[in-house]
C-alpha cells in the first residue's frame, strides 16, 4: 500500500469517530454555503475556509468564502487565496459554516450579516479554541486539535475526499497546520497533528516551502527595523531581565510599520541567561506599549503588567503604560525588580 493510502486508512477511524454526524449530514445536503473565517483571518482560518470551499465545490456545491477583511499578503501561499470575498454573494445560503472561531461576533461585519439571515438557515461551526461561548446546535469544537485545518482534514477524510486529486487542497490545509503550530514546534502538536501533517505531505503539500513563506520571509524594512531595535538591547537584574525599546524614529527611519515589530519580543526571549524579556514601543509622548515574555522561575508575566492595567498569560502578557518611552522603561524595570525581591512566584500554568 502506498504511504498516502496507508495514512488515509489510519485516519479514517479517527475521522469517523470525531466528525459530528449532523455536520456531515448538513455538508452533504447543502447546495449553497457561506464559509466564514474570523475577522483579520490568519492562515488557519483562511486555510480551513478555502479548503472547505475546495472540498464542497468538488461535490458540486456552490461555496462563498466571505471574510470581514482581505487576507494579508503573507497568505498568498494558499493557492486559492484570491477567492476570498469581502462582500456576500447575491444568492442566499442554505447553510453557513463559521471556521476557527465559535461566535459570529468574531467574524466582524460578516457576523452581523449571518445574524440577519433567516433563523431557519442552518448554522455550523468548526473551531479548536478552548474558551468560547458557542451556542449553535452544530458546533464542532475540539480543543485538542492544533488547528482548525487539522479538523477540516479529518472532515475531508470522513467525506471520502481524495486529497491528492483536489488541486491546492493539501497545501491549503497544511498552511493552517503550519501557522498554528509554528511548523509543528508548539506544544499543541499531538501525534494526530503529525499524522494529519504526514497525510497532507504525502498528498503533495509543500510543507517546507509554506513554512519558509509564512515564518522565514520578511520585507527588508522589517529586517532593518529589527536591527535598529535589537541594537538597543540592554539588561538589568544582573542579566535576568533583557529589554529593548522602539521609538517612533526607529519606524520612520526605515519606513517600517508597527506590524513589522512583530516577533522582536520573541527574539529577546531567546536570551539564554534572561528569564524576563521586555519590549517597549513608543506609541505617543505619553503612551508606551509593553510586551512581556517570561520563562523558568521568573515572575508571572500577568503580575508584571498588572500594575499598568495589562493582561495576558503567565508566559506572555502586554500592557499600555501611560508614560513616555524612557519613563515607562524605568517604571517597568523597577516593578520587575520589586517582584523579584518579593519572590513573587509564577502561578501554576
Whose CA is closest to 26, among 59, 74, 71? 59
Cβ 181 to Mn ion shortest distance, Å: 10
For residues 38 and 226, which CB has a smaller minimum distance to Mn ion in the complex? 38
**In 10 A of CB 123, how many CB atoms?**
22
For residues 9 and 186, which CB has a smaller minimum distance to Mn ion in the complex? 186
With cell 454526524, the residue in question is 21
For residues 148 and 274, which CB has a smaller minimum distance to Mn ion in the complex? 148
Whose CA is closest to 325, among 289, 271, 272? 289
Summarize as ranges the residues that interact with Mn ion (CB under 5 A).
44, 100, 147-148, 180
Whose CA is closest to 129, among 27, 42, 211, 216? 42
Cβ 176 to Mn ion shortest distance, Å: 7
Cβ 180 to Mn ion shortest distance, Å: 5
For residues 152 and 246, which CB has a smaller minimum distance to Mn ion in the complex? 152
Cβ 331 to Mn ion shortest distance, Å: 35
Residues 108 and 316: their CA atoms lie apart, in Å, by: 26
Whether the Cβ atoms of residue 80 and residue 172 lie closer than 8 Å to each other: yes
239: left (phi over 0), alpha (psi -120 to 50) or beta: left
**Axis-axis angle for helices 21-29, 148-158 (nearest 10):** 70
CB crowding 55-79: b at 16 or more within 10 Å, else e: bbebeebbbbbbbbeebeebbebbb
For residues 44 and 282, which CB has a smaller minimum distance to Mn ion in the complex? 44
Cβ 170 to Mn ion shortest distance, Å: 18
Cβ 128 to Mn ion shortest distance, Å: 6
For residues 55 and 177, which CB has a smaller minimum distance to Mn ion in the complex? 177
Residue nearest to Mn ion (CB): 44
Partners of residue 127 on adjacent β-strands: 141
Amino acid at each position: 500500500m502506498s504511504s498516502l493510502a496507508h495514512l488515509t486508512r489510519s485516519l479514517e477511524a479517527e475521522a469517523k469517530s470525531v466528525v459530528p454526524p449532523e455536520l456531515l449530514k448538513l455538508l452533504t445536503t447543502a447546495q449553497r454555503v457561506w464559509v466564514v473565517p474570523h475577522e483579520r483571518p490568519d492562515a488557519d482560518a483562511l486555510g480551513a475556509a478555502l479548503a472547505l470551499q475546495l472540498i464542497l465545490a468538488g461535490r458540486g456545491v456552490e461555496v462563498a468564502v466571505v471574510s470581514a477583511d482581505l487576507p494579508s499578503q503573507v497568505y498568498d501561499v494558499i493557492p486559492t487565496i484570491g477567492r476570498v470575498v469581502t462582500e456576500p454573494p447575491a444568492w442566499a445560503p442554505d447553510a453557513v459554516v463559521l471556521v476557527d472561531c465559535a461566535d459570529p461576533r468574531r467574524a466582524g461585519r460578516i457576523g452581523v450579516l449571518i445574524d440577519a439571515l433567516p433563523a431557519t438557515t442552518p448554522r455550523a461551526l468548526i473551531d479548536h479554541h478552548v474558551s468560547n461561548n458557542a451556542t449553535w446546535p452544530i458546533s464542532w469544537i475540539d480543543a485538542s486539535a492544533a488547528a482548525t485545518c487539522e479538523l477540516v482534514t479529518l472532515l475531508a477524510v470522513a467525506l471520502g475526499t481524495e486529497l491528492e486529486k483536489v488541486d491546492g487542497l493539501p497545501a491549503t490545509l497544511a498552511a493552517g497546520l503550519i501557522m498554528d503550530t509554528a511548523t509543528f514546534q508548539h506544544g499543541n502538536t499531538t501525534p494526530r497533528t503529525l499524522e494529519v501533517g504526514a497525510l497532507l505531505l504525502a498528498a503533495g503539500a509543500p510543507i517546507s516551502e509554506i513554512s519558509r513563506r509564512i515564518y522565514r520571509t520578511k520585507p527588508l524594512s522589517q529586517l532593518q527595523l529589527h536591527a535598529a531595535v535589537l541594537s538597543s538591547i540592554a539588561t538589568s537584574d544582573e542579566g535576568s531581565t533583557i529589554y529593548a525599546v522602539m521609538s517612533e524614529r526607529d519606524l520612520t527611519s526605515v519606513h517600517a510599520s508597527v506590524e513589522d515589530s512583530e516577533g522582536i519580543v520573541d527574539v529577546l526571549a531567546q536570551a539564554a541567561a534572561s528569564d524576563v524579556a521586555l519590549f517597549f514601543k513608543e506609541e505617543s509622548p505619553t503612551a508606551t506599549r509593553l510586551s512581556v515574555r517570561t520563562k523558568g522561575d521568573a515572575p508571572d508575566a500577568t503580575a508584571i503588567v498588572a500594575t499598568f492595567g495589562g493582561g495576558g498569560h503567565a508566559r506572555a502578557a502586554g500592557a499600555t503604560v501611560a508614560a513616555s518611552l524612557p519613563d515607562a522603561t524605568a517604571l517597568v524595570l523597577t516593578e520587575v525588580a520589586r517582584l523579584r525581591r518579593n519572590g513573587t512566584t509564577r502561578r501554576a500554568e
